[in-house]
């Protein structure tokens, strides 16, 4: 909703108050914008016909008549998405050296609180060209991601197969990530993310951890 074109004959508009009501007249949401541009982006979670009201206030405190517009939301907001990750990874395992990997994951993203909190369940693997004792491996994880605008931070847990012969067959991991949504068209997003993972068993975190940087396609 954009009220930037609002004018005042003997002063200037300093505030726009937006209000949304449903078909029964119940208040759905409201927003006040005190700075140009006077606009509000609103995502409707449920289908229905809504009335949006905008009232302007000038620098003398005078208020305009309400401006009304009807909005028809024909479908609810999509909450379930597919996520495809591709990343480069460095893994360390009981020693001073790292092995380099190319990894990929496929998962689902469910928006618990749209635009604010997601849960991601994914699984995949990582491949290395290096010889023994390094090994390619599989992993799976569950993470919660908190969004602040285009930036997101997350934490969770997972299980990984061994990436070195000296490690257990599989072990649990604690995982943390941080990223930013770089590009978005309709319901498709491309993000860049950084991720760190370490064991939750008696393995040493200093000597057994993974660091990765990659891209995520969400659609």
| Same domain for 59 and 136 | no
Q: 176 and 146 in contact (C-beta within 8 Å)?
A: no
Helix (H) or strand (E) holding 2: none
Domain span at residue 137 reads 80-218
Of 32, 47, 73, which marks where a domain is finished?
A: 73
b/e code 112-144 from CB counts within 10 Å (16+ = b): eeeeeebebebebbbebeeeeebbbbebbbebe
Q: Shortest CA distance to 82 belongs to which of 121, 45, 126? A: 121
| Same domain for 211 and 103 | yes
One pLDDT digit (tens) per residue for the chain, 219 residues: 999 999 998 889 999 999 999 999 999 999 999 999 999 988 887 889 999 999 999 999 999 999 999 999 887 678 899 999 999 999 998 676 899 999 999 999 999 988 899 999 999 999 999 988 899 999 999 999 999 989 999 999 999 999 998 888 999 999 999 999 998 887 899 999 999 999 998 888 888 899 999 999 999
pTM score, two decimals? Answer: 0.67
Q: Shortest CA distance to 152 belongs to which of 182, 121, 132? A: 182
CATH number for the domain that contains residue 40: 2.60.40
| Same domain for 85 and 174 | yes
| Same domain for 87 and 68 | no
| Same domain for 138 and 65 | no
CATH number for the domain that contains residue 182: 2.40.160.20
| Same domain for 194 and 92 | yes
Q: How many Å separate Cα 171 from the centre of its chain?
A: 27
Taking the C-alpha atoms of residue 172 and residue 208, their distance in angstroms, rounded to an integer, is 12
| Same domain for 125 and 170 | yes
64: DSSP letter:
P
| Same domain for 171 and 150 | yes
In total, how many domains does the chain have?
2
Burial of 55 (0-12, 13-18, 19+ CB in 10 A): middle
Of 53, 73, 93, which marks where a domain is finished?
A: 73
| Same domain for 143 and 56 | no
Within 10 Å of residue 36's Cβ, how many Cβ atoms? 13
Mean pLDDT of the chain: 93
Q: Is residue 4 part of a domain?
A: no
């Amino acid at each position: 909703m954009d009220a930037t074109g609002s004018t005042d004959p003997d002063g200037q508009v300093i505030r726009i108050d937006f209000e949304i009501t449903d078909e029964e007249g119940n208040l759905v949401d409201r927003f006040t914008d005190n700075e140009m541009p006077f606009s509000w982006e609103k995502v409707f979670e449920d289908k229905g016909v809504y009335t949006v009201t905008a009232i302007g206030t000038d620098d003398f405190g005078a208020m305009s008549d309400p401006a009304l517009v009807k909005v028809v939301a024909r479908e609810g907001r999509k909450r379930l998405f597919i996520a495809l990750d591709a990343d480069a990874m460095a893994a360390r395992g009981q020693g001073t050296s790292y092995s380099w990997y190319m990894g990929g994951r496929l998962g689902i993203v469910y928006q618990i609180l749209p635009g604010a909190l997601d849960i991601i369940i994914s699984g995949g693997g990582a491949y290395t060209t290096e010889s023994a004792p390094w090994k390619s491996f599989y992993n799976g994880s569950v993470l919660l991601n908190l969004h602040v605008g285009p930036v997101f931070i997350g934490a969770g847990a997972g299980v990984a197969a061994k990436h070195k012969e000296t490690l257990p067959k599989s072990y649990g991991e604690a995982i943390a990530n941080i990223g930013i949504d770089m590009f978005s068209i309709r319901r498709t997003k491309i993000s860049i993310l950084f991720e760190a993972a370490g064991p939750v068993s008696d393995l040493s975190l200093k000597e057994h951890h993974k660091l990765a940087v990659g891209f995520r396609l969400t659609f």
